[in-house]
Chains A and B, each alone.
Chain A
């Protein structure tokens, strides 16, 4: 073993016993744990996607269409492949007076081709796998629908114009997402029963799937032939790209949670830098003696480098263990993306966590340690020589490495660079704010009592350390304030903006001939007459005679918009809550082909007034000129459209109608009567969807809170590191104060004053940052009026003040117990 390696082990053992390395290890363990906890969770879901791709697809290959059932069964037979067809749509299920929106899936024989359905005879009954589908005249429903309709298996329900017996409870469907994406409970029925329901009508929004499975060779050949023969509106989904919605949600979660976890890494870096600095100061003499005894510079550098490697490896292992133990917090969220059991994680998250730990350690600890080789040997005679260089420049490498990690985690250079620049900018602003506060406080020294003066002077004496601690706690507290108070404020602001009688129900699939009867129904129920809007479904095929396809757009949303059918409407007058922001609305009775486009979608797809758009409606193409862009208030829950045409252009196309209305709480039974009279209508309960969305937001928030829990922990480690770093000075101070007659109570009061001020400053900075972010989110992103909340400031002050005081005073208590003489002699 090389001498440096051996010496590094000596150093490690001794420093470990002396507790000098504890802060470094704790900081790194938190950094690695926060990164790996997120990593293990996303990795398991990714692996489930990869390993169970065909089960999650229910097939080896799926052709999707939103226009008509894909007609490729003959081709499948030609390659000796199995196939099954499915139709999915939303519809009302009704029993007695209770109605409930359901996600209906009608399936043919053989479904699913991969994986198995599981059913139970009744609620809480034992589930078992089946190879069959619901027999004609029967349906299988999930527990949610059973409970909402207050049904038992064996009871009947109405779906459209047909009555079905609930034959079983559906417990597992291989190709269904977890409950993350479903807005309504599931109803599974036989494809052959669909015509009897009368639910497939003009304007019905239906998703058709053709599932294909068989020998890999056959599937490959089938697929090769398919690539060029897909019809407009058809899309191929394979095992590799199965469940794009799950993948993109997972990718976003991974990016976002990963970036949030890096905040802890950043704070850990600050703690590591602080601890390593103290460590290097305490090893100046060792290095001087080594130089004096003839050790070459390389020996010193190598010894410390090896020691850091040992430490990094140890902290990496512990951190991965802690991350694994904590990753359940996130699988609870991410596991809901798919309904499959999650396989154990791979080594990849552990490796990247390990690497993150090492990068943090080497980036922030090595600069002061490597500088030790330059300690002059003369220091053995002159103690004042060889003080380490101060300044942030030594940590530029660490900061750059962390920046690189952020860009890598963001998965996109430009986005990553923006985030890094934003983070640096925000930190600079906060650091300046904290510095000004520290400076301002120092002026109060002459006006306060002895304990406060002692506290204030300690803060002012180490401005850089104080600012670092304020920032570290500030960031942690800010994250928690944002996630709790500011989030609640935004939600409240949004809810307040809605008038009490804002529409809370949408009705879709209304056929033109039903309009008079539906109007009468509302009149009989003494409800205000709702306004009906015509709706035609069409696909955008070209802009200015240039054909468009999903591949033309990099933006995910734009590609998605081009791929799917739009709801188009026609109107004489501009809807009241719409606002023209470019061009002009058409005069009444205009007999020309004109269009008005919502400004958001226009920006996404690059449409401006004067452009010509062509749409395909059921095989027929029409063209119109864009004369205006509209701003639409989607939050009003009034019916709104991306694209509105002159009546002249669209009124001869087959249309269905849509409306929204306000249903008071006590009139819920009206829905049962409505569905009974018009079984084909689909009623969407905005409140129920909002509840669902809110539940998802809560879960996401919880996961983000867990990540920032690590950040807060890292904040405490920064405080601990700072306490350690100033321990010798503080011991000296307390010894001197004790000698001058200070009681232990006075000493504790002095420390308490210092930490209370530090914590309060961190709370102030946090409240400031959270309020600014809340304001930007409200005014710029969500277009909501910002509500000033004094609680944000109070909670910030309180949380910072109490948290830091408790931690700080506890950390300093042992110092007050040291006999003063021992300290003064040693100094």
Chain B
């Protein structure tokens, strides 16, 4: 039985105008990802990895081509429409954690649930569960600045998985962590991804990390080469 792809990328391109004229960041990218897959996007600095990830999430608009998320044409929606789709479908994990400094660990994880309209009580319970699963039960009321880098990334992973997204996008999730901590974070990421049956697309330049993904896409100067 063949599954309907959760992500379909068709003829995607991105150009920007710089001081030296048009600059092509991505050129004619085509691929699709099926539900449950774990997919790594590899490439050197400046190869277009981050640009591609941004387009997959609808954080930026392409110069050409389209992205279908679970059958929805992402760029047929306006900015608020894309934000709503992100809210219910996509989870993010960033290199720099990107937690809100004004909220506690628990509140940070509750935020996407509440934005999606869940009552506070339910959101609190659900967020607490995921944080406990990430090993942060004693840290619920801590603010990001009171947590170590590894702990902050665990909160970020808990936040990403809490709304049970179909798609998880990760941007160099271990880039800011030491090797041992990074390894534990990656374990947690893969475990949760497996448990919750979500699809993972991860940008990295770490070959070893990429090896753990079932599929690898390689970018070179804005083109998909493998």
Contacts and interface: CB of A to CB of B under 8 A. Distances in A.
A296 interface: yes
Contact of B59 (A10, A14, A381): A381
Given A15-B102, A285-B98, A292-B59, A297 B92 contact: no
Interface in A1-42: 3, 6, 10-11, 13-15, 18
Contact of B50 (A6, A15, A382): A382
Contacts of B57: 292, 377
Contacts of A3: 114-115
Given A11-B102, A380-B98, A381-B50, A296 B83 contact: yes
Contacts of A382: 50, 54
8 smallest CB-CB distances across A and B, nearest first, come from: A294-B87, A14-B102, A378-B59, A377-B59, A293-B112, A378-B60, A296-B80, A294-B86
Nearest to B203: A381
Contacts of A6: 114, 120
Contacts of B54: 378, 381-382
A377 B120 CA distance: 25
B192 interface: no
A294 B60 contact: no
B100 A289 contact: yes
Q: What DSSP secondary structure best describes chain A's contact surface?
A: helix
Given A294-B112, A297-B80, A380-B94, 15 more contacts: A288-B98, A289-B98, A289-B99, A291-B83, A293-B86, A293-B92, A294-B85, A294-B116, A377-B57, A377-B59, A377-B86, A378-B60, A380-B59, A381-B53, A382-B50
A18 B91 CA distance: 29
B83 A377 contact: yes
Contacts of A285: 98
22 contacts: A6-B120, A18-B102, A286-B100, A289-B98, A290-B111, A292-B57, A292-B59, A293-B86, A293-B112, A293-B115, A293-B159, A294-B83, A294-B84, A294-B88, A295-B83, A296-B80, A296-B83, A297-B80, A376-B60, A377-B57, A381-B50, A381-B59
Q: What DSSP secondary structure best describes chain B's contact surface?
A: helix
A294 B50 contact: no
Interface in A261-302: 285-286, 288-299
Nearest to B80: A296
Interface string A379-409: 0111000000000000000000000000000
B94 A14 contact: no
Given A3-B114, A299-B115, A14 B101 contact: yes
B87 A295 contact: yes
Contacts of A292: 57, 59, 86, 92, 98
Contacts of B171: 381
A10 B103 contact: yes
A18 B57 CA distance: 32
B80 A293 contact: no
Contacts of A288: 98
Interface in A727-767: none
Interface string B50-68: 1001100111100000000
Contacts of B98: 285, 288-289, 292, 380
Nearest to A17: B102
Interface of B: 50, 53-54, 57-60, 79-80, 83-88, 92, 94, 98-103, 107, 111-112, 114-116, 120, 159, 171
Among the interface residues B60, B83, B107, B112, which one has the most CB atoms of the partner chain A within 10 A? B83
Contacts of B84: 294, 296
B124 to A, nearest CB: 13
Contacts of A14: 101-103
B102 A376 contact: no
Contact of A294 (B103, B115, B159): B115
Contacts of B60: 376, 378
B26 to A, nearest CB: 14
A597 to B, nearest CB: 74
Contacts of B107: 10
A272 B92 CA distance: 35
A380 B96 CA distance: 9
B102 A10 contact: yes
Contacts of B59: 291-292, 376-378, 380-381
A13 to B, nearest CB: 8
Among the interface residues A15, A286, A295, A382, which one has the most CB atoms of the partner chain B within 10 A? A295
A296 B82 CA distance: 9
A6 B120 CA distance: 11
Among the interface residues A294, A299, A377, which one has the most CB atoms of the partner chain B within 10 A? A294
Among the interface residues B50, B85, B86, which one has the most CB atoms of the partner chain A within 10 A? B86
Contacts of B114: 3, 6
Given A292-B86, A293-B111, A294-B86, A380 B103 contact: no
Among the interface residues A13, A291, A298, which one has the most CB atoms of the partner chain B within 10 A? A291
A4 to B, nearest CB: 10
B90 to A, nearest CB: 8
A279 to B, nearest CB: 12
Contacts of A297: 79-80, 83
Contacts of B103: 10, 14
A291 B120 CA distance: 20
A289 B92 CA distance: 10
A208 to B, nearest CB: 74
Interface string A296-327: 11110000000000000000000000000000
Nearest to B95: A381
Among the interface residues B84, B92, B102, B107, which one has the most CB atoms of the partner chain A within 10 A? B102
B66 to A, nearest CB: 18
Nearest to B82: A377
A370 B202 CA distance: 34
